[in-house]
């Protein structure tokens, strides 16, 4: 059965090859999407060729809903996005994938039923498909080579959906010892280095010493040091002093 997570339906209009449907299913499941709808697949459905490319996302193929027409596939939805790279004469809001999926996330959170339509691999959507949509999603691709294959387009929209609905921080520190050092710990590290460097005669000539100390403090404050980093840097300096004293 589909997951309970509220999400848009991804509607593949007249897909031509089973392999592309399977690859699209894999791309959807990469980002936790499992509501696939198929409109008049060229080679019929189910299609054994889709299974190999799904690679672990076969459940999406088993549960995919089959429709004869675009209108039937989106009849229960309240807002529909059409992905296309080709300019059209129809007047529609045109959104980037990021903006579209952010908008979709807000709509789904309000209880709306949302769908994202993807056109056939060879020719893309027909004007009738576009006319049925609420908005167009246009990917800012190379204008000299604007064609994305079906799975690529599904992957891109799936990724933006995940970004819009995930709490994952844009940048994070990963590893075994990632607890960041407190400012006091960094300050004490700076004191340690400053003391040893002064003993070594580093702060010379005298009239430049204050500026050198300030630059060194600035260096430590710019570095996102973990507590493990601070301990290691203390240890390096202690070992260097011991080595000099043994010599």
Task: Give pLDDT tens digits for 1-54.
Answer: 567 789 999 999 999 999 999 999 999 999 999 999 999 999 999 999 999 889
From first to last of the 247 residues of the chain, give the pLDDT tens digit. 567 789 999 999 999 999 999 999 999 999 999 999 999 999 999 999 999 889 889 999 999 999 999 999 999 999 999 998 765 678 899 999 999 999 999 999 999 999 999 999 777 889 999 999 999 999 888 888 877 899 999 999 999 999 999 877 777 767 777 788 898 999 999 999 999 999 999 999 999 999 999 999 999 988 889 899 999 999 999 998 888 777 6
Q: What is the DSSP string of 177-239?
A: S-PBPPHHHHHHHHHHHHHHHHHTT-S-SHHHHHHHHHHHHHHHHHS--BHHHHHHHHHHHHH
Residue at 153 is within a domain: yes
CA atoms within 13 A on the CB side of 45: 23
pLDDT for 201: 92
Residue 87 within a domain = yes
- Assigned domain for 170 exists: no
Q: How far is CA 43 from the centre of its chain?
A: 32
Q: Verify that 108 and 220 share a domain, yes or no.
A: no
- Rounded to whole angstroms, the Cα distance separating 28 from 16 reads 18
- Whether the CB-CB separation of 116 and 10 falls below 8 Å is answered with yes
Does residue 117 form part of some domain? yes
Q: Are residues 153 and 204 in the same domain?
A: no
Structural domain contains residue 177: no
Residue 241: per-residue pLDDT? 85
| Residues 134 and 33 occupy one common structural domain | yes
User: Residues 20, 68: one domain?
Assistant: yes
Q: How many domains does the chain have?
A: 2
Residue span of the structural domain in which 220 resides: 183-246
Would residue 2 count as lying in a domain?
no
The pLDDT tens digits for 96-115 are 999 999 999 999 999 999 99
CATH code for position 128:
3.40.1280.10
39 phi/psi in degrees, rounded to 5: -110, 110
Q: Look at residue 176 in the predicted model and tell me its pLDDT.
A: 72
> Coil, strand or helix: which one is 147?
coil
Residue 33 and residue 151 share a domain: yes
User: Would residue 195 count as lying in a domain?
Assistant: yes
State the pLDDT at residue 242: 85
Write phi, then psi, for 87 (nearest 5 degrees): -65, 145
- In this predicted structure, what is the pLDDT of residue 59? 93
């Amino acid at each position: 059965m589909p997951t309970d997570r509220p999400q848009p339906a991804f509607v593949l209009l007249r897909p031509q090859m089973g392999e592309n449907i399977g690859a699209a299913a894999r791309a959807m499941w990469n980002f936790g999407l499992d509501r696939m709808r198929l409109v008049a697949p060229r080679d019929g459905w189910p299609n054994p060729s889709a299974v190999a490319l799904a690679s672990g996302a076969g459940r999406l193929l088993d549960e995919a809903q089959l429709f004869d027409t675009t209108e039937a596939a989106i009849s229960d939805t309240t807002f529909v996005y059409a992905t296309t790279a080709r300019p059209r004469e129809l007047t529609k809001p045109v959104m980037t994938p990021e903006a579209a999926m952010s908008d979709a996330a807000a709509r789904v959170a309000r209880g709306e039923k949302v769908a994202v339509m993807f056109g056939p691999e060879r020719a893309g959507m027909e004007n009738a498909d576009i006319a049925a949509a609420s908005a167009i999603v246009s990917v800012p691709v190379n204008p000299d080579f604007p064609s994305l294959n079906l799975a690529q387009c599904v992957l891109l929209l799936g990724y933006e959906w995940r970004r819009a609905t995930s709490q994952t921080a844009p940048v994070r520190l990963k590893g075994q010892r990632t607890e960041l050092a407190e400012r006091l710990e960094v300050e004490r590290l700076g004191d340690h280095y400053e003391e040893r460097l002064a003993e070594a005669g580093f702060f010379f000539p005298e009239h430049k010493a204050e500026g050198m100390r300030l630059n060194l403090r600035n260096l430590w404050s710019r570095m996102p040091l973990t507590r493990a980093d601070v301990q290691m840097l203390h240890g390096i300096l202690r070992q260097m002093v011991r080595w000099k004293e043994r010599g």
